[in-house]
Amino acid sequence: MTATTPIRVLIGKVGLDGHDRGVKLVARALRDAGMEVIYTGLHQSPEQVVNTAIQEDVQAIGLSVLSGAHNYLFPRVLELLKEKGAEDIVVFGGGIVPDDDLPRLKSAGVRMLFRPGSAMTDVVDFLKGLRS
């Protein structure tokens, strides 16, 4: 990534969960910060997310899960990225994730999880930090 080209990031809802208030706020904040945001909309399977990410040539995937299915969905996305040789794409997320689940998601390769109370600026700073 060079400092002049905008960051390209996929933002979406994976799984069956329809809570899209937070994900839309994040998508808007990243766009307002000058990033190229590909918003997938609702009810995406891990396969759809990974295929879109590769086709759209994004540098990062940000996924929102508030339904408690994070322990399956995040590792599954990372596994598919690896299968397709796209493990350079950074995966981060947000939602209702208890403390006890953080280590396993981190070891599966989730770079960052933004939990309730996070500021939009935290997400923007995190993505900008990927350049350095």
Partner 1 sequence: MADRKERFTSLSGLPVAPLYAPEDLKEWNPDTELGVAGSFPYTRGIHPGMYRSRLWTMRQFAGFGTAEDTNARFKYLLEHGQTGVSVAFDMPTLMGLDADNPLARGEVGRCGVAVSSLSDMERLFDGIPLDQITTSMTINGPAAILFAMYLAMAERRGIPAERLGGTLQNDILKEYIAQKEWLFPPEPHLRVMVDTMAYCAAHLPKWHPISISGYHIREAGSNAVQELAFTLYDGLTYVDTAVKMGLAVDDFAPRLSFFFNVHNDFFEEIAKFRAARRLWAREMERRFHPQDPRSLQLRCHAQTAGCSLTAQQPMNNVVRTTLQALAAVLGGTQSLHTNSMDETLALPTEEAVKLALRTQQIIAEESEVTNTVDPLGGSYYVEALTNRLEDGARAYIEKLDRMGGMVKAIEQGYPQREILESSLCYQREVERNERGIVGINRHVEQDEASISILKIGEEVEKSQVDRLSSLRYRRDSFMVAGSLEALQEAAAGDENLMPYLIAAVKADATLGEITASLKEVFGTYREPVVL
Residues that bind partner 1 (CB under 8 A): 15-21, 24-25, 27-28, 39, 41-42, 45, 66-69, 71-73, 76, 96, 98-100, 115-117, 119-121
| Chain centroid, CA 87 distance in Å | 13
Query: Is the CB of 85 or the CB of 103 nearer to partner 1?
Result: 103
Query: Is the CB of 85 or the CB of 117 nearer to partner 1?
Result: 117
The least CB distance from residue 67 to partner 1, in Å, is: 5
The least CB distance from residue 3 to partner 1, in Å, is: 25
CA distance 59 to 7: 7
The least CB distance from residue 28 to partner 1, in Å, is: 6
The least CB distance from residue 1 to partner 1, in Å, is: 24
Alpha helices in the chain (DSSP H): 21-32, 46-55, 70-83, 102-108, 120-129
Partnered with residue 12 across adjacent β-strands are: 63
Query: Is the CB of 7 or the CB of 95 nearer to partner 1?
Result: 95
Cα 11–Cα 77–Cα 96 angle in degrees, nearest 5: 65
Query: Is the CB of 7 or the CB of 76 nearer to partner 1?
Result: 76
Instruction: For residue 44, give the nearest of 70, 66, 69, 16 by alpha carbon.
Output: 16
